[in-house]
Amino acid sequence: MIPLRDRNPRRRISVPAVTLLLIAANVALFAYELSLGPRLETRLLAAAFVPARLHVGGGLLPALAAVRQGLVSALVSMFLHGGILHLAGNMLFLWIFGDNVEDRLGHLRFLVFYLVAGLAATGAHAWANPHSQVPAIGASGAISGVLGAYLVLYPRARIVTMIFLGFFIRLVELPAVVFLPIWFLMQFMSGVASLHGAPGGPGTADGGVAWFAHIGGFLAGPLLLFLLDRRPRMA
């Protein structure tokens, strides 16, 4: 089930500048990753968020330093990706759903929303997988927050969706109130299943997907929307 576009024109802004800048930043960082060649793995391990690094001994000061470094790495990790398909899928979702949420919140509040949703998603991943040594990268946690907000704001918006039925592909239009809960249910079921012995540790799947980052980001979206947008809702 892949979204291709939505039928939900913007009403307040002509150009979703922050959405475009976020996409550009993700693409630029991925190009930088490719330029690293054999140094990529070492650089990613150093820069990415690793839940186990939050657990340090030695008292209050080392713990505070670990938390500070964890916040920095969580922000950096939002703009790193593990491959072209990882990047392309995330940017597709961000483009389809991000411009309307930015239209609603405005540029600056949308940027704050996106970054905080990403931090909340990373926190959910760390909670589900506290001792993992595996680096967590990708924009999907922050984008999940965008999806959660979109569901609240535009439940009747139509999403043009590609559905795979065995060897057949069909295009259908689904309202957001159908598409997004199905998407969330898929993440939730995968996350629950991953708690029972996935190779990457609790909270991850065989392919290393941080399901609880998706779950946490999606749930954080409506809460952040409530905090940042007090205008009447519109569908």
Q: pLDDT tens digits for 79-129?
A: 999 999 999 999 999 999 999 999 999 999 999 999 999 999 999 999 998
Q: What rounded mean pLDDT belongs to the chain?
A: 89
Nearest to 103 by CA among 187, 224, 10, 171: 10
Q: pLDDT tens digits for 8-60?
A: 999 999 999 999 999 999 999 999 999 999 999 888 888 899 998 887 766 67
pLDDT at 202 over 70: no
In whole angstroms, what is the distance from residue 116 CA to residue 192 CA? 24
In whole angstroms, what is the distance from residue 8 CA to residue 99 CA? 10
In whole angstroms, what is the distance from residue 203 CA to residue 134 CA? 11
Are the C-beta atoms of 104 and 125 separated by less than 8 Å? no
Provide the 10 A C-beta neighbour count for residue 174.
17
Q: What is the side-by-side strand order in the sheet with 168-175? A: 2-7, 158-165, 168-175
Alpha helices in 134-175 (DSSP H): 140-153
pTM above 0.85, yes or no: yes
Between the alpha carbon of residue 107 and those of residues 66, 112, 161, 188, 205, the distances in Å are 31, 9, 27, 30, 35
What would the mean pLDDT of 62-82 be, rounded to a whole number?
89
